[in-house]
Amino acid sequence: MVRFLIRRTLFGVLVLWLINVAVFVLFFVAPHDPARAIAGRQATAQTVALVQHRLGLDQPILTQYWHFVTRLLHGDLGYSYYNSAPVRSLILARLPVTLSLALGGAVLWLLLGVSIGITAARHPRSLLDRAATVFVLGGLSMPTFLVGLLLLYTLFFRLQIAGVDAFPGGGYVPFTQSPTQWAQHLILPWLTLALVSAATYSRLTRTSMLEVFSEDYVRTARSKGISERRVVYRHVLRSALTPVVTQLGIDVGALLGGAIITENVFGLPGLGQLAVQSVTTQDLPVVIGIVLVAAFFVVAANLVVDLMYAVLDPRVRRR
């Protein structure tokens, strides 16, 4: 298992390096005047000259890339001349919001999606299975922004008219300030992510469990008189969770890079909202920083998935 994880870690480092090279070429080599693009549309000639000097854009390409990598290794993601602040501080200020949204939503959609998938797999072609199919079709058909707006209308706007102030319509309260208000402000965004994503997880769980139910070792376990509950949750579900874990790593990694739609619908000051603002204002240093941070989260999430493979599948440990 150790060799397997080492190989996957080295592969993740290689992926990060390739993304690093692609970002450098895209933002520093391809533009006709990268200093002007980084400084912003309203930058003066003095500011453009300062950017060119700080980034060493008058030096050879390989030297520029070496300085770019060196700054990244020291945690320097650049400087936002539009916000007059380091990119690292801008991202760190928004990161807790995105982390809260992504991790809370993931827990909720896992509980909902896997529970529905288990129920549907245990009762195939039943009324429960058909209801789960309707839920899946509805979840896959509804875009995130529409689910968010519907929740805002029903659970915020209509309840506000009725005098019930249970669900805030937006904003964010840090966990350290008030855990209760933190969860209260995030419950609607969590529900939005859960209702959209749980459909995929319920379908994956149901399909994978039905395949495992037909395996010989499951029939053997049943013939030995093992209870159905133990067969389902200890033998079948454990083997069926591999595709679910794979999908979870992709989704959580992408969300940690910024849940753009959800954050903008609910006015959450996270990385997704920062990315939209930076693209709109052409604040390229922030865009570069968010791209690199998002890539790191995707690679890290997939490394965690590989670790989960070793826990769920004993065969991985022997690689």
pLDDT tens readout for residues 242-258:
888 888 888 887 787 76
pTM: 0.81
- Residue 89: pLDDT band (50, 70, 90) is very high
Q: How far apart are CA 22 and CA 11, in angstroms?
A: 17
**pLDDT of 313 higher than 80:** no
The pLDDT of residue 259? 78
Instruction: Give the residue, 37 or 127, on which the prediction is more confident.
Output: 127
Instruction: Say if CB 91 and CB 290 are below 8 A apart.
Output: yes
Instruction: Say if CB 175 and CB 224 are below 8 A apart.
Output: no
Q: Which fold has domain 92-317?
A: MetI-like fold (1.10.3720)
**pLDDT of 55 higher than 60:** yes
Instruction: Give the residue, 28 or 144, on which the prediction is more confident.
Output: 144
| Helix spans in the chain (H) | 2-24, 34-39, 45-55, 61-73, 87-122, 127-141, 144-151, 158-161, 179-213, 216-223, 228-230, 237-256, 260-265, 271-281, 284-312, 314-317
C-alpha torsion 182→188→192→194, nearest 10: 60
Residue appearing with tokens 């209760």:
180
- Residue 316: pLDDT band (50, 70, 90) is low
Closest CA to 283 of 20, 66, 21, 43: 43
Instruction: Say if CB 129 and CB 123 are below 8 A apart.
Output: yes
Angle (deg, nearest 10), helices 61-73 and 45-55: 80
SS3 143: coil
Q: In which residue ranges of the chain is CATH 1.10.3720.10 found?
A: 92-317
Instruction: Say if CB 35 and CB 52 are below 8 A apart.
Output: yes
Instruction: Return the DSSP state at 60.
Output: -
The pLDDT of residue 305? 81
- Residue 272: pLDDT band (50, 70, 90) is confident
**pLDDT of 75 higher than 70:** yes
Instruction: Say if CB 271 and CB 93 are below 8 A apart.
Output: no
Percentage of the chain lying above the pLDDT 70 cut: 91
pLDDT tens digits, 168-186: 877 888 888 888 889 888 9
- Residue 265: pLDDT band (50, 70, 90) is confident
